[in-house]
Structure 1
Amino acid sequence: MNRSHSILSARLLAAALCAGTAFAEESATNDSEAQRDVVNLDRVVVTGRAGTGVRTKAETSYAITDLSHEQLRLQAPMGVAESLKAVPGFWVESSGGEASANIRARGIPVEGYSMLSLQEDGLPIQHDSGLGWMNADQSFRLDETVDRMEVVRGGPASLFAPNAPGGVVNYVTRLGGDTPEGLVKYEIGDFGRHRVDAWYGGPAGDWRYALGGFWRIDHGVRDPGFRANDGYQARFSLGRKFERGSIDANVKHFDDHVVFYLGVPLTFDSGGDTAAVPGFDANYGTFLGPETRYLVAKDAAGDRVLDLKSGTHVRLTQVTLKGDWDLGGGWKIEEGFRYRDSDTVRAGLFPATLTVAANRLAALRAGAVALYPTATDVRFRYVSTPTVYFDTANQNGNGLVLDASAREIGVSLEEAINDLRLVKQLEIGDQKHDLAFGYYFADVSETFKRYSANLFTDVRDNARVLDLVAVDGSGNVVGSMTENGFSRYGAEFANGSGDSRTHAFYGSDEWQLLPQLRIDLGGRWERIHVDGKVERIASRNLGGAGPQDDNVLTGTGVFDPFARSFDKFGWTVGADWQFTPRNGVFARATPTFRLPSLGDYITNPTAKPITQKIDLYEAGYKYVSQPFDVFATAFLTRYHNFGFGELVYDPATGSYISRTAYTDTKTYGVELESNWRAAAWFDLSASATLQKPEFGDFTFTELVNGAPVQRDYTGHQLLRVPETSFRIVPGTTLLNRRLRIQVPVEHYGRRFADAANSVRLPSYTVVNVSLRYDVNRWLTLYANGDNLFNEIGLTEGNPRAGQFQSGEAGARYYLGRPILGRSLRVSALIRF
């Protein structure tokens, strides 16, 4: 692929560096900027605890990772998932683009963010982070209004947050201060990227305000031939401190389109390593293209437009109010309220089955001959150029054809969340107690709609749409098995709506038993009630000439209601022993849970979900100093009644077949997080995870060609979770701290795409680079290069081929989703 923008970016960077030399005499960096890379040993942790006292990272009884705004800025993540790559214990899949990622915490093998609470200023961005087709990262965008990030892994996360057995990711926003100040950052990238971030804050009498946001356009690293990412975010905050308390208000709105990347066609090279198929670039290619950006399908009401160019389009408005007040007598009340209203449309081209064209035609021939008596054969031809027929032997150099689904999902979500806490610190004898009592409430309303239609395409970058035609012995077309490439209209349909109300009561005590020993304990009781309705589905024949509209799924107008309630109690107890204020050990046990949610019923009113129970154990050592720090944690995760499911495409019928089984999983391992500041000019940071993620008792019987077959996946490695992963970042700071260069190296071990462990996802290593150069006290330049060596690192296989036993096991050609190819971004930040 043409990467000519790389030359432009490199020239801009070189010019800026030269300019920095010219300004050398006036470019003395101010003290605050010079100290930004020095670790803050006394930074207060606000996530994963409640109470009136303060705790530093070295004093917590659980595992936590924190990143400052400058660390985030230098890392330059293009989405939420990429900001979590430095967090040990997390397996991050960001290969789908800026949103809709998958995070697996401590081996918990669930999709999306289902086991994490994604938060902003200590309140959930979305009550259920793993709502179907509505991952919480779609509801949040990183920009310069974010001050820092704190991530709690396991531990007390589920005590203070809903649906958070795996942890809490908390983005703390930047507030206005006593002095007016601001910044503007402009970024360009070699994939047509232009982005502007801005922030400004200061005093207004007794109040403090801040406003900021971003605007961004680009065509994506995998270029679909049109603008893939396009949108903006705006935020305004206003706050004030009083003698006995404070109040803060925050309003955020964004309207953003982001592309959703899916699997690409792959094969093996002569050495057995992952390789691209001829005619497709595995680093930069995508099936999505000009011929699939705008499709017209059909449903029971007539034509249905599928605007795949829209990608994942989110329009969201969020209002947050937070405050605290000293009630006297050592009591303090803390209140947090958040309202959000959003509309999301997710549209994409979902590859289902990759087949040698000759084999696919052979499977389709009988149906065509039966429908058209004069037909003797079938052929593919291009929809946009009907006179051009598909070369079965070597079209695009590969002779492959793709069954795909054009899918559109609409989710409207309205939420009101409130978290009220009463805290008090007291002494009983010579022992201190830091108490917190809380009540959490969430009211959620959701509507969900889904439609999909199946089509044929060829296999190449920006795939072209194919029609399947029946021909006679002379090669003349006697009929068509498709219409505008569509082999089946209405392959999927859903229409549901519902509400949920969650009540939770929780309490905690940080009990200072001895000067060196603290016991942290707490419990949470949570109850959810869900109710709503789901439209019944029926099949209709629209009466067209071909078979594409013979079996269109649509609504009947009859709705089935649902109403269910669930509740559960969980608890946590931890101990922290501090040898010194910066050196100690901790241990914790947390039996916790995740209740069923509205998403379990929104497409199936008779669903029978169960409360998921997870037992978490951890013990760790921590040491913090200015030259060196280390946090090492051993953990054990036992996941009971894990609901393992799949949605498999059947090319014979064009239908999706759903299957779910329940099993147990166990993951034990060690997490390591360390920083070594060896000299003023050199430092090294590292994070690593060594773990054994495996299924428990996982045996069942399934029918294969009508005969029962016993399956036993007990002890198999969990899906897409590596046993070994690490991230090492050597860095150097030169020219009187004006120049900073760091080279993150990431390695991920072997994984599997199915429970049978029949499809291997090979290990891979990625090398990136980040650079910062202070031209002067008001201008700083940044440069980021990702995946410098164009590694084809697979993050997932083809889930639509099966996740129990993949139908692509042993295949020469298969679908998988690699990380994005090499890209370069350069930005200039101006402070004022």
Structure 2
Amino acid sequence: MRLTGGNNDLRRIDVFNSGPMGNGWYYSVGGFFRQTDGVRDPQFSADKGGQFSATLSKRWDSGEVSFYARHTDDNNAFYTAIPLLSRNNGNDLSSFPGLNAQTGTLLGRDFRNVDLLVRPNGQTLRRDLADGRGVNIDVFGGELNWEAGHWTIADRVNVMSGSAPTYALFTGDAPQRLSDFIASYGTTGSGSFTKGGGAVDPNQQVLEAGWWSVDKRLNSFTNDLRLSRELFAGNTLTVGASYATYSSADTWHLGNTMSLTAQNNARRIDVALDNGQQATRQGFTSSAFLNLRAQYDGENIAAFIADEWELNARLRLDLGARYERQSVTGDVHDTATVDLDGNAATLYDNATSAALVSTRRIDQDDEAFSWTAGLNFKLNDSNSLFARVNSGVKFPGFDNLRDGQDRVQEVDQYELGLKSGASAYDLYLTAFYNTFKNSPFQAFLANGSNFTAVGDSRARGLEVEAAIRPFGGFELAGTGVWLDAKYRNYREFTGNQVMRQPKRQFRITPSYYWMLPFGDLKLFATYSYIGDRFADLANSQRLPSYDMLDIGANLHVGEHWEMTASGSNVTDTLGLTEGNMRVPGAATGGVFMGRPIAGRQYQMSVAYRW
């Protein structure tokens, strides 16, 4: 059992128990429950939920069969891009006034519970932002491993059913003064707070953000069967087949734009126009720009063969090939733009997307052949060389086909490396070259348009993973990647750096381990550096480099007790994981929309094992 606590009112309990039941039967049960205000406090429980799982297995001399079940009910806040101050060509960032970049969020109780306009005559849909990005999923399955003569049989089956909603805030353009926002309607007016009333200062910085509602009902069944046999000494052949059927029922309401104060835990603003028009309803300036209703079904069937051959004591070869066929059908409801109440003076619902009864059909079959080949050459007991070539595919998904992106993605990967290790060190050095064809991109822009593109890219680089242990319990470990990734045949974006991929990144982790009279103690820290990147295809939104420091300690007392303390980003660095693809272009007026990493976080856990 483990109890965990931390800042932001983090509370978590993990419980797990396993053991024999007699006569070859074994069991395990366990799970967790967690609740926290989140790394950015939205004034309600940002993360709340848990999981329960159980397994039952039976062992014989010839093999084992096991069954498992897992229920997950978990909800997590979705943190959107926030305004930041940008200087020096995007290289220097700081907090926007009233919204701390390390701890702040626009999310707040003011618009936690809303009624979204979805149908004529005032019909609404009630949604709770605390449900965030959630899952309510049940998974059941089983696994068989059996020795039958010279053959080894392995079969795995999995059944999944549940829902995965996303209720989240999506920001658009950079903030502006309330007076300028009102002027965009071509008239004058005033603003007041939706909750609590009170006039809003015309100089108040405001922005528009959408309250998006996405509901997905998911089901799947998968089965993987493989048979292995040693053909002769040092050579093992594996043949198999896999089958999967899956479905998704989607109901989306994207848009639902609100006028918000640009501050931590933002508040909605209702605008009163002097020309008699009604611009807002409960702070909403628009309803959905996309009402998607769709039902998709997919089926994948594959056959594969693999062979691993130890040619001699120093040389090992493995080969594999896979043929797969995917069939997807679906019905996507047509949409129309309507004025929900038929009143042109109520501006907030004049351009509402409404799903119609009529549908358009998706019906596509794809097939592809994939293969891999790998070679490992042992130089001596401490060193070996390896090489691998892969050629694979990724079939278009439901959303790709909905948007007409029906090409099969092709991926070719090449790598060459060195593995070296001894008691005092470990070293993995890998050079790689990858090509990607028909890679799709899709984003719903702030103006409601659906931007799509398809193109190619290539990536080459070097990856290093190493550790040295020069004395006692001290270890210095590190990882690093140099990457040169560029778009090819990608419209006007050809030659640009692949978005969100830094050319350089590395992590260094020193640690020290002590044996103590009553147990053991390990202290560790990790320094991370992430290089410059771009947030968009056009390479117009620069994400500057940043570094951060994490620290921790782990203590074992006797055979039963364990205590762990850790801190992440203890230097409280302001670093960005992404910008805002929904708004093309660079910073506007020195303001940049981006998603920062979380600020300084601490947590501690105590575990007891029996």
Q: Normalized against structure 2, the TM-score is what?
A: 0.95
Q: Is the 8 A contact 2:419 2:428 kept in 1?
A: yes
SS of match in other structure, 1:548: helix
Question: 1:665-686 CA deviation, whole Å, 9 max, x = no partner?
Answer: 1110011111222222211111
Equivalent AA in structure 2 for residue 411 of structure 1? K
Match of residue 406 from structure 1: 211
Q: Is the 8 A contact 1:361 1:378 kept in 2?
A: no
Question: Which one of the candidate residues 224, 234, 248 is aligned to 1:446?
Answer: 248
SS of match in other structure, 2:287: strand
1:460-479 matches, within 5 Å, as: 460-471=263-274, 478-479=276-277
1:338-487 matches, within 5 Å, as: 338-357=158-177, 360-361=180-181, 364-366=184-186, 369=187, 377-392=188-203, 395=204, 400-427=205-232, 432-452=234-254, 453-471=256-274, 478-487=276-285
Q: Is the 8 A contact 1:528 1:597 kept in 2?
A: no
Per-residue deviation, 1:445? 1.5
More RCO (CA 8 Å, sep 6+): 1
Per-residue deviation, 1:293? 0.6
Per-residue deviation, 1:625? 2.3
Q: Is the 8 A contact 1:783 1:826 kept in 2?
A: yes
Match of residue 704 from structure 1: none
Compare 561-570 and 810-819 and name the one that shifted more.
810-819
| Cα distance change of structure 1 residues 419 and 221 upon mapping to structure 2, 3 Å threshold | same
| Cα distance change of structure 1 residues 358 and 190 upon mapping to structure 2, 3 Å threshold | closer
Equivalent AA in structure 1 for residue 596 of structure 2? P
Q: Is the 8 A contact 2:550 2:566 kept in 1?
A: yes
1:463, 1:714 → 2: CA distance? 39
1:445, 1:507 → 2: CA distance? 28
* Greater fraction of residues in helix: 1
Equivalent AA in structure 2 for residue 354 of structure 1? A
Structure 2 residue 301 is the aligned partner of structure 1 residue 503: yes
Per-residue deviation, 1:735? 5.2
Aligned residue pairs total 601
Match of residue 250 from structure 1: 68
1:333, 1:270 → 2: CA distance? 62
Question: 1:273-310 CA deviation, whole Å, 9 max, x = no partner?
Answer: 11011111100111110101111121115022121121
Q: Is the 8 A contact 1:281 1:461 kept in 2?
A: yes
Per-residue deviation, 1:811? 4.0
| Cα distance change of structure 1 residues 285 and 266 upon mapping to structure 2, 3 Å threshold | same
Question: 1:229-262 CA deviation, whole Å, 9 max, x = no partner?
Answer: 1111111111122111111111111111111111
Structure 2 residue 94 is the aligned partner of structure 1 residue 275: yes
Equivalent AA in structure 1 for residue 355 of structure 2? G
Question: Which one of the candidate residues 309, 315, 318 is aligned to 2:136?
Answer: 315
Structure 2 residue 70 is the aligned partner of structure 1 residue 259: no
Q: Is the 8 A contact 2:224 2:243 kept in 1?
A: yes
1:363, 1:506 → 2: CA distance? 64
Question: Which one of the candidate residues 337, 357, 361 is aligned to 1:561?
Answer: 361
* Identity percentage of aligned residues: 28
| Cα distance change of structure 1 residues 529 and 275 upon mapping to structure 2, 3 Å threshold | same
Per-residue deviation, 1:432? 2.9
Question: Which one of the candidate residues 664, 689, 692 is aligned to 2:481?
Answer: 689
Equivalent AA in structure 1 for residue 428 of structure 2? F
| Structure 1: gaps of 5 or more residues | 1-183, 370-376, 473-477, 651-655, 700-710
1:567, 1:720 → 2: CA distance? 31
Per-residue deviation, 1:608? 4.2
Question: 1:354-374 CA deviation, whole Å, 9 max, x = no partner?
Answer: 2322674265232xx4xxxxx
SS of match in other structure, 2:184: helix
Q: Is the 8 A contact 2:36 2:47 kept in 1?
A: yes
1:278, 1:729 → 2: CA distance? 35
Equivalent AA in structure 1 for residue 71 of structure 2? H
Question: Which one of the candidate residues 138, 149, 152 is aligned to 1:332?
Answer: 152
Structure 2 residue 394 is the aligned partner of structure 1 residue 594: yes
SS of match in other structure, 2:469: strand
1:535-574 matches, within 5 Å, as: 535-543=333-341, 544=343, 545-574=345-374
Equivalent AA in structure 1 for residue 133 of structure 2? T
Question: 1:182-214 CA deviation, whole Å, 9 max, x = no partner?
Answer: xx0000011111000111111001111111110
Match of residue 191 from structure 1: 8
2:208, 2:181 → 1: CA distance? 12
Match of residue 812 from structure 1: 590
Match of residue 330 from structure 2: 532
Question: Which one of the candidate residues 55, 65, 80 is aligned to 1:237?
Answer: 55
Question: 1:491-536 CA deviation, whole Å, 9 max, x = no partner?
Answer: 2210001211100111111122222111111111110001121111
Structure 2 residue 600 is the aligned partner of structure 1 residue 822: yes
| Cα distance change of structure 1 residues 325 and 681 upon mapping to structure 2, 3 Å threshold | closer
| Structure 2: gaps of 5 or more residues | none
1:280-295 matches, within 5 Å, as: 280-295=99-114
Q: Is the 8 A contact 1:382 1:390 kept in 2?
A: no
SS of match in other structure, 2:234: strand
1:281, 1:327 → 2: CA distance? 63
1:312, 1:827 → 2: CA distance? 26
Per-residue deviation, 1:541? 1.3
Q: Is the 8 A contact 2:505 2:531 kept in 1?
A: yes
| Cα distance change of structure 1 residues 555 and 270 upon mapping to structure 2, 3 Å threshold | closer
1:196-235 matches, within 5 Å, as: 196-205=13-22, 206-235=24-53
Equivalent AA in structure 1 for residue 499 of structure 2? L
Compare 729-738 and 339-348 and name the one that shifted more.
729-738
Match of residue 507 from structure 2: 727
1:555, 1:572 → 2: CA distance? 45
2:261, 2:559 → 1: CA distance? 54
1:777, 1:591 → 2: CA distance? 48
| Cα distance change of structure 1 residues 591 and 467 upon mapping to structure 2, 3 Å threshold | same
Question: Which one of the candidate residues 515, 522, 539 is aligned to 2:313?
Answer: 515
Per-residue deviation, 1:664? 1.6
2:247, 2:185 → 1: CA distance? 48
Question: 1:538-580 CA deviation, whole Å, 9 max, x = no partner?
Answer: 1221225511111211111122222110000011111111123
| Cα distance change of structure 1 residues 270 and 523 upon mapping to structure 2, 3 Å threshold | closer
Match of residue 610 from structure 1: 407
Q: Is the 8 A contact 2:278 2:348 kept in 1?
A: no
1:684, 1:647 → 2: CA distance? 45
